Amino acid sequence: MNTAIDPGSRASSYHHGDLREALLAAAETLLERGGVPALTLRAVARAAGVSHAAPAHHFGDLTGLLSELAAVGFTRLGAGFDAAMAGAGSEPAARLTAMGKAYVAFARAHPGLFVLMFRSERLDASRPALRDATTAAGLALRTAIARTRPSATDDAPLQAVARIAGLWSLVHGFSVLLIDNRLGGLLGALPPGDDPDTLLAAMLDAVSIEDGGRQVAD
């Protein structure tokens, strides 16, 4: 009668063996399938094949479970940044595009997780796992952006901060609007064959004009 998502490992009768990870995996499946509202302590317990109170033992309460799951997401996002920066060349504009693409690609690949990661009213930001993961990902993002500008040191403080905040806002807002399907009309106005990736590249290209003097001028 085990409706568990992962019935493998060592499902003894009582002690599960690795229930904590199984619960997180089940939660992620439910999240991507039904969004944040589907993330219920009891639903997660059902999906993992345990009693309704089992998750509380590992995560305390629902906020704890959601926070740990969000931490997984931030860790994964940070890893995506690192991979994108490692794969990109040394040219600033290319690095910037790679970073933006990594951000949006993560959001599109795991929309439920991405939404959860920024639903702060359901999370406990002071939880160590979440706090560490967010700061790590934020640091990776900021350094990645900072390195996409050749001569960043001579920027005025306001301009330097504006560059980071602007790019972050751009890719974050685009991800949110894309997931929410708010860009339907705009995407429909694109030339045939152009997808969101093309649009993102064009957006980043427009912003990166202030780099070495690259011009759009067709």
Partner DNA sequence: GGATGATCTTGACAGTGACAAGATCGGGCG
Partner DNA sequence: CGCCCGATCTTGTCACTGTCAAGATCATCC
Q: Does 126 contact DNA by CB under 7 A?
A: no
Q: Which residues ranging from 12 to 41 are in contact with DNA (CB under 7 A)? A: 12-17, 19-20, 40-41
6/32 with CB nearer a second copy: 32
Query: What distance in Å separates the CA atoms of residue 117 and residue 111, rounded to the nearest whole number?
Result: 10
First-to-last alpha carbon distance for the chain, in angstroms, is 64
Do 209 and 215 form a contact (C-beta atoms < 8 A)? yes
Answer positive or negative: Cα dihedral of 50, 53, 55, 58: negative
Q: Decide which of a second copy, DNA, none touches 108; Cβ closer than 5 to 8 Å per partner kind.
A: none
45/104 with CB nearer DNA: 45
50/96 with CB nearer DNA: 50
DSSP 96-160: HHHHHHHHHHHHHHSHHHHHHHT-GGGS-TTSHHHHHHHHHHHHHHHHHHHTTSTT-TTS-HHHH
Selected binder of DNA within 7, 34, 35, 52 (CB under 7 A): 52
Q: Decide which of a second copy, DNA, none touches 131; Cβ closer than 5 to 8 Å per partner kind.
A: none
Q: Does 109 contact a second copy by CB under 8 A?
A: no
Quick note: the x/- pattern for a second copy over 123-162, rule CB under 8 A, is: ---------------x---x-------------xxxx-xx
Which residue in this structure is represented by tokens 């992962």? Answer: 6
